[in-house]
Amino acid sequence: MTSKLFTIDELIEDKLFGANLSDDEEDGETTVPKSFSGPIGTQLSKCEKLPVVNFKSNKCEISEIEWTILSKDQQHLLDISYAVKSGSSPEDLAVREPGPLYHSKWLTTASRVLRLYLIIENSRDEHKILVSFIPKSYMHAWFHIKKSKYFTNGPEHVFEVIKSSRFLPENLLKVIDPVIQRNAFFAHPGNVLLSMIVDKKDLVRELDFRRIIKARNLSSKRKSIRSFQPPKMNFPATYYIQMIH
């Protein structure tokens, strides 16, 4: 189970790099497979060649995870996130390669967005949004999936994507929430019931058993094959069992 479980990458690619990140300008759509357009995107390919400056720390919570279970790219993203949070970059991190810039490797693109932040003393507001989004939501969801790989964890991963992205301004929530809605297959009632049956809370498991028994007792008049569609999402939910209407 990878980040593609929920196409978190699409939030960065099509919706944050290509979205209206401020009221009067747009960062730009992708151009060729190894580059981006726009004032942020065009600087990503060579950002690791420039020296680190006195950048401002970006205070945010970073998910705890065992460093040794991460891939090389994931380790780099975690290390550079700590640097951004602290406002100081170790010398060895400044010379490490963040990985190639490919549209199929959004993990390394995220690392490059953070590396770019280290070489700019006064970052643009839209760049700051991306720098906050990566550790708070993108990386948080990545590591949540990395630590919980069972299919019964799927609904919880969807919920974590929703919960961790709520800090974004309303104009960006209007852009990314449809992406979440369109890809929320793991929030399907059947998947939520499977997750509830192994929930740590006794009340949730009991509620799940009652719902399953009730569903079995209902007579269905449906004669056609059901269409497996993502349910309508309840974005203000405070727990995964509440995220569908």
Question: What is the C-alpha to C-alpha distance for residues 107 and 27, in angstroms, rounded to an integer?
Answer: 19
Tokens 């998947």 found at: 191
Closest CA to 229 of 172, 200, 189, 179: 189
Given a cut of 60, whether residue 154 has pLDDT beyond it is yes
User: Do residues 148 and 113 lie in contact, with contact meaning Cβ atoms separated by under 8 Å?
Assistant: no
User: Do residues 145 and 1 lie in contact, with contact meaning Cβ atoms separated by under 8 Å?
Assistant: yes
pLDDT given for residue 5 in this prediction: 42
pLDDT given for residue 211 in this prediction: 93
> What number is the average pLDDT over the span 96-113?
81
Question: What is the C-alpha to C-alpha distance for residues 167 and 186, in angstroms, rounded to an integer?
Answer: 23
Per-residue model confidence as pLDDT tens digits over 176-189: 899 899 989 999 99
Amino acid at position 91, single letter: E
Amino acid at position 83, single letter: A
Give the contacts of 9 (CB within 8 A, at least 6 positions apart): 3, 106
Per-residue model confidence as pLDDT tens digits over 187-233: 999 999 999 999 999 999 999 999 999 988 876 677 788 788 999 99
pLDDT given for residue 80 in this prediction: 94
Closest CA to 186 of 151, 146, 150: 151
> What number is the average pLDDT over the span 10-27?
48
Given a cut of 60, whether residue 156 has pLDDT beyond it is yes
Q: With bands split at pLDDT 50, 70 and 90, how would you rate the model's confidence at 61?
A: confident
Give the contacts of 11 (CB within 8 A, at least 6 positions apart): 133, 137, 138, 165, 176, 179
> What number is the average pLDDT over the span 55-81?
89
pTM for the full predicted model: 0.81
Q: With bands split at pLDDT 50, 70 and 90, how would you rate the model's confidence at 235?
A: very high
- Domain spans of the chain, in order of start: 1-15+36-147, 151-220+230-244
Amino acid at position 130, single letter: L
